[in-house]
Amino acid sequence: MSIVTLAEPRAAAAAPQGIRTTYRDAVREAVRSAMRSDPRVFLMGEDVGKYGGTYAVSRGLLEEFGPERIRDTPLSESAFVGLGIGAALGGLRPIVEIMTVNFSLLALDQIMNTAATLLHMSGGQFNVPLVIRMATGAGRQLAAQHSHSLEGWYAHIPGIRILAPATLEDARGMLPSALADPDPVLIFEHALLYNLEGELDAGAGAVPIDRAAIRREGHDVTLVTYGGTLGITMTAAGQLAEAGVSAEVIDLRVLRPLDTGAILDSVRKTHRAVVIDEGWRSGSLSAEVSARIMEGAFYDLDAPVARVCSAEVPMPYPRHLEQYALPRAEVIVETVQRMVNPHAA
Amino acid sequence: MSPTANGVALLRAMIRIRRFEERCAELYQEEKIRGFLHLYIGEEAIAVGVMQSLTPEDAIVATYREHGHALARGIDMNRVMAEMYGKATGTSGGRGGSMHLFDAKTRFFGGNAIVGGHLPLAAGLALADRMQGRGVVTACFFGDGAVAEGEFHETLNLAALWQLPVLFCCENNRYAMGTALERAQSETELALKAASYRIPAWPVDGMDVVAVEGAARRATGAIRAGEGPHFIEFRTYRFRAHSMFDPDLYRSKGEVETWRRRDPITLLTDRLRGEGAVDDAALEGIEREVAAEIDAAAAFAESSEWEPVETLARHVTSEAPS
Ligand SMILES: Cc1ncc(C[n+]2csc(CCOP(=O)(O)OP(=O)(O)O)c2C)c(N)n1
Ligand SMILES: [Mg+2]
């Protein structure tokens, strides 16, 4: 795995009693502590046990909890996601790990047609307390079948909650909150974030999963992003500051239901917005955010909402093409510059 | 219960489902029931027979052709009929309709209308039961069409691998909509597919309710004894079209007639008459009681309230306990 350094938004504000950790370890700690405190919780997925997890998130958990609660499954995405639904109905609190979002398409039927519909279809009788975690995103030269960012698609579906932890606090804290939710929750972990290092409060635990977070305050432009693109967005905000432009960065954190209020409040203050989304532009989450700004803060805008998304191509393999296809800090900076300074050459 | 009394109870249960669905077909013509309506007529022996082998703690997961299963499971006919209408008093508050009957009290998990999509759910319920040490069975009903889906194979493999307490009930009525089994499967002996996953599997005459009950008891007995999942292929036939939209062009009248001669209700009636267990008066009594129950159910559905549109957004996510 290539290492791409990402700015850790909270590093500067870390508490003195913080411990040095990684995003990967924070997720593992979240799983471990949930399993220790609740016997109903178990982890199931491809290679979560003996292999230790494709991204090593579950390494060591099989030894601690045994094969009944750390369940290796065959390559049957639809079946093991569906088993998770059934097990949740049967009183357990399954954490289903899908290796990556790319393979989640084989379980889309279960997620969309069963997990998201059962409560409604049964007139409120059967809620599904299921948590599904999966890796998402590009950036490791894995080419066209292993680089998708489809969390925006999932955010289209009523009946499920969509989370995108972008910080160590959220990597550690979103899982326990998701497990406490009576309904299905999908957690998208950008694969490039697993190596993210920083300080995490020793007592870190559950975090709210119903609102966005302001990762940097500013007054000239609002940069709305989430997950894997928070790092480049923070970098861009830093560069903009050097150029005298004050950018506010909103980390959506929760992709469904969207915290529209947080977005609109910020835009009403800055009067400009750029949405940064690793998904493709057409029919994307960035389109949804943009539409909501248009619906709710049109008259507060000094410029049309802009978007920085992935190029609309299946992801190419060569590094230079892949990097060019993905949202980049420099493109965010240029986009903002054009916005605040429309008449510059 | 004596064998004779049991036979009469089975007959009554099948007649009750048959007449209920015949009324549903009429109500469909009257536009009281809308959407998809899949009748189980001809296949009643399976739901009725299998239910005899289940306890109240067991779980049931069925398809969109599930009215018979719901009634045989003991869900109140009034609520089933109200759900067919879409009324707020229905089993699913009217949100589901004919294809989505649900009932927490009897552990009836639908009413699922994605072919094969509910098999993993059944295995998951069984996994939860096993992990929590509950010695119960999950009975999962599905058609011959589901056998072609990946979810069928994925689930049978996992259920066998993890020795989950599931009874797989394949209702082989020889057609998936208009596609005959031999036009969809390279191997039409469906039990062989389950056997290839090392699941005990065998075919049973799905028109003979006594044979169905016997097979289901044998299978659930083994499952309760910890012998893992079992698979029964019930050979049956649907006498009516696939749904109310189906012009039924893909099979001959003669074929339907041949199967109608093996009507599970007629077969059992003849047997019970032969044994002197029922006579015309007894049959008339059953019909009268069943008709009265159906009349009452239709009246209940008719007079029930519609859910107000103001509560449309309910049940998308769970409501905070008040
Ligand atoms: C995944 C999926 N594909 C297609 C359909 C449309 N469809 C509904 S019922 C059906 C036939 C299913 O046949 P079978 O499993 O034999 O059950 P039966 O209707 O005969 O009881 C089809 C193709 C569906 N509901 N789900
Ligand atoms: Mg069929």
Q: What is the pLDDT along chain B (322 residues), one digit of tens a residue?
A: 566 779 999 999 999 999 999 999 999 999 999 999 999 999 999 999 999 999 999 999 999 999 999 999 999 999 999 999 999 999 999 999 999 999 999 999 999 999 999 999 999 999 999 999 999 999 999 999 999 999 999 999 999 999 999 999 999 999 999 999 999 999 999 999 999 999 999 999 999 999 999 999 999 999 999 999 999 999 999 999 999 999 999 999 999 999 999 999 999 999 999 999 999 999 999 999 999 999 999 999 999 999 999 999 999 999 987 6
Same domain, A179 and A70: yes
CB contact under 8 A, A86 and B93: no
Residue finishing a domain among A168, A201, A234: A201
Strand, helix or coil at A224? Answer: strand
Partnered with residue B18 across adjacent β-strands are none
Same domain, A125 and A187: yes
CB contact under 8 A, A122 and B317: no
pLDDT category at A7 given cuts 50, 70, 90 is: very low
Torsion of CA B54, B58, B62, B67, to 10 degrees: 60
The sign of the dihedral angle between the CA atoms of A22, A28, A30, A33 is: negative
**What CA–CA distance (Å, rounded) separates A319 from A143?**
10
Same domain, A224 and A323: yes
- Is residue A11 domain-resident? no
Mean pLDDT over A41-64 rounds to 97
Is residue B118 less than 8 Å (CB to CB) from chain A? Answer: yes
Q: What pLDDT score was predicted for residue B320?
A: 83
- Is residue A47 domain-resident? yes
pLDDT tops 60 at residue A2: no
Q: Assess contact for B27 and B33: CB atoms under 8 A.
A: yes
pLDDT tops 50 at residue A106: yes
- Is residue A302 domain-resident? yes
Q: What pLDDT score was predicted for residue A342?
A: 82
**What CA–CA distance (Å, rounded) separates A144 from B13?**
56
pLDDT tops 70 at residue A37: yes
B149 CA: nearest ligand 1 atom: 1
Q: Assess contact for A227 and A320: CB atoms under 8 A.
A: no
Same domain, A260 and A171: no
Same domain, A40 and A103: yes
**What CA–CA distance (Å, rounded) separates B52 from B45?**
11
Same domain, A64 and A142: yes
Pick the closest to residue B216 from B88, B30, B60, B91 (CA basis).
B60
B113 CA: nearest ligand 1 atom: 25
pLDDT tops 60 at residue A1: no
Same domain, A188 and A241: no
What is B264-302 written as a DSSP string?
HHHHHHHHHHHTTS--HHHHHHHHHHHHHHHHHHHHHHH
For chain B, what is the total number of helices (H) and then of strands (E)?
12, 8
What is A278-342 written as a DSSP string?
EEESTT-HHHHHHHHHHHHHGGG-SS--EEEEE-SSPPPSSHHHHHHHS--HHHHHHHHHHHH-T
Same domain, A267 and A164: no
Mean pLDDT over A210-223 rounds to 98
Residue in B114, B122, B161 closest to A86 by CB: B122
Q: Assess contact for B146 and B152: CB atoms under 8 A.
A: yes
Q: What pLDDT score was predicted for residue A6?
A: 38
Strand, helix or coil at A103? Answer: helix
CA atoms within 13 A on the CB side of A332: 34
Q: Mean pLDDT of all residues in chain A?
A: 94
Distances (CA, A) of A48 to A1, A104, A328, B25, B240: 18, 16, 32, 50, 48
pLDDT tops 70 at residue A15: no
Peptide bond preceding A238 in cis form (omega within 30 of 0) = no
- Quick check: CB of B47 below 6 Å from ligand 1? no
Split into its structural domains, chain A has a count of 2
Question: Could you confirm whether A295 is annotated as catalytic?
Answer: no
For the whole model, what pTM was predicted?
0.92
Same domain, A81 and A194: yes
Q: What pLDDT score was predicted for residue B166?
A: 98
Is residue B27 less than 8 Å (CB to CB) from chain A? Answer: no
Q: What pLDDT score was predicted for residue A344?
A: 73
Question: Could you confirm whether A199 is annotated as catalytic?
Answer: no
Residue finishing a domain among A201, A226, A241: A201
**What CA–CA distance (Å, rounded) separates B254 from B129?**
46
Residue finishing a domain among A179, A201, A223: A201
Q: What is the CATH number of the domain that holds A24?
A: 3.40.50.970
- Quick check: CB of B175 below 6 Å from ligand 1? yes
Pick the closest to residue B46 from B219, B276, B221 (CA basis).
B219
Q: What is the pLDDT of residues A268-301, one digit of tens each?
A: 999 999 999 999 999 999 999 999 999 999 999 9
Percent of chain A with pLDDT over 90: 93
ipTM entry: 0.90
Dihedrals phi, psi of A225, to nearest 5 degrees: -155, -170
The fold for domain B7-302 equals Rossmann fold (3.40.50)
- Is residue A248 domain-resident? yes
Beta strands in B85-224 (DSSP E): 108-112, 138-143, 166-172, 175-176, 179-180, 201-205
Q: What is the pLDDT of residues A70-86, one digit of tens each?
A: 999 999 999 999 999 99
Distances (CA, A) of B224 to A159, B195, B221: 35, 19, 5
Domain positions in chain B: 7-302
Torsion of CA B14, B19, B20, B21, to 10 degrees: 90
Structure tokens at A260: 């529209």
Residue in B90, B151, B316 closest to A78 by CB: B151
Same domain, A286 and A146: no
Same domain, A251 and A327: yes
Same domain, A238 and A119: no
Residue in A76, A84, A122 closest to B96 by CB: A122
- Quick check: CB of B145 below 6 Å from ligand 1? yes
Domain range enclosing A187 = 18-201
